[in-house]
Amino acid sequence: MSRTKSPAAILAIKQSVVATEAALEAVIVYLKQTETPTSKGAKRIIDVVLDTHHCESPEDRIVACGLKTYEPHYMGTGVIERLQPIVIDIFPRSKETGYFADMTRTVCLGEPSAELASMYEAVRQAHQASVALLRPGVRCQDIHKASVKVFEKLGYKTGGVGTLFAYAEGFVHSVGHGVGTEVHEAPSMGHNSVDVLMVGDVVTIEPGLYYKHIGGIRLEDLFVITADGYEQLTTLSLELRI
């Protein structure tokens, strides 16, 4: 099976994107309007919204808060606290077409600390640097390295021994991955990838930073590679503070 997507497949992914963005917007409303929001309550809202859009809600969806967000796959539990990073990662699968979407935002209830705000800005700049390279013929490892260069320039070091990931702290995972009928598929987009972008690839760009003393920040969007560059599929814009 070709990893590149037909126009029909891209349309199907766009339909899953609509569900993803609707679910995230509903979670933001819940977080802002609820006196004591919880991870469980937010996930329940995700489930309901995705179901109304005829999408499956994955069991490992993420609404995580606080220091434990330094673990990229920490799914979250308990009360959502103010002034802490809140990572929301939603990746539904359409019940009708079988195609996934994938998007992550990091927000904070109330005014973030200067340290958290600076870290968010570093991730935002890394995201922009990697997105700027999206076009046919570009090596996927170069897209990853673009984010690495931003983090290194801004003084965000990666190091230590990880478990599921290559490192314990810093930018610990690849900058993205392909998305289709699997939420993680070709092309590979890590530092040692041998893949080259092709027209019709649907990929995420999701740089992140993770430190035990502050938590994690990840920003993830979905793109389709076109003949002259890319089309951004996820367009929901959110600032860190909500």
Write out pLDDT tens, residues 32-87.
999 999 999 999 999 999 999 999 999 999 999 999 999 999 999 999 999 999 99
Helix (H, G, I), strand (E, B) or coil at 31: helix
Q: What is the pLDDT of residues 80-118, one digit of tens each?
A: 999 999 999 999 999 999 999 999 999 999 999 999 999
49 and 23 Cβ atoms separated by less than 8 Å = yes
What the chain holds in terms of domains, given with CATH numbers, is 7-232 (3.90.230.10)
As given in the structure block, the two tokens for residue 140 are: 């996927």
Q: How far is CA 8 from the centre of its chain?
A: 24
3 and 203 Cβ atoms separated by less than 8 Å = no
Count of other CB atoms within 10 angstroms of residue 2: 10
